[in-house]
Amino acid sequence: MVSTILSLLLAFQSPIISINQLILESHDYDKKTVMIEAEVILEVLERGDHAWINVNDGTNAIGVYLPIEMTEEIKVFGDYNHRGDIVLISGVFSRNCDEHGGEIDIHATSLKIVERGYVVTHEIAMWKWIVTMFGVSISSLLLMSHRRRKTKAVKREIREFL
């Protein structure tokens, strides 16, 4: 509890860093506490008493390793139909984590929900419907024409055979 409060206090003193900046300047940030704000995407991948989440801040994505209790607050995960919860994560960045096979990751010490996720609706533009209907019509006409020619050819072969 005390360590979580301390890490939150430290996190609020650190500037938010983009994931792309972490990757590009990985030597400078390696093994240092960093803070990122990003959308949680996909799902929680449970690994015993810890878990993995993937986050994307619009510049890039990264895996975050954290105690499983921290994931309980996350309700909406980003995908095509959802905007995931936006989280503020503080943790230790590793450009090649010894614990996880040399992968680039963040070991979270704190996670705070900044904004709840929501359902995304996708409207289909009218011009897409028109193009689709035109394509289906042309395809149907070509298919009927092909079948008619094939039927005539088969009938001709039968007449010649008899």
| pTM for this prediction | 0.70
Higher pLDDT, 67 or 148: 67
Percent of the chain residues past pLDDT 70, beyond the cut: 91
> What per-residue confidence (pLDDT) applies to 7?
53
Higher pLDDT, 160 or 93: 93
How far is Cα 11 from Cα 92, in angstroms, rounded to an integer? 11
How far is Cα 59 from Cα 61, in angstroms, rounded to an integer? 7
* Residue-range domain boundaries for the chain: 2-119, 123-162
Task: Give the mean pLDDT of 124-140.
Answer: 92
CATH number of the structural domain 2-119: 2.40.50.140
- pLDDT category, 53, cuts 50, 70, 90? very high
Instruction: Report the amino acid identity of residue 113.
Output: I
Higher pLDDT, 51 or 157: 51
For the chain, the average pLDDT equals 89
> What per-residue confidence (pLDDT) applies to 20?
95
Region at 48 (left for phi over 0; alpha for psi -120 to 50; beta for the rest): left
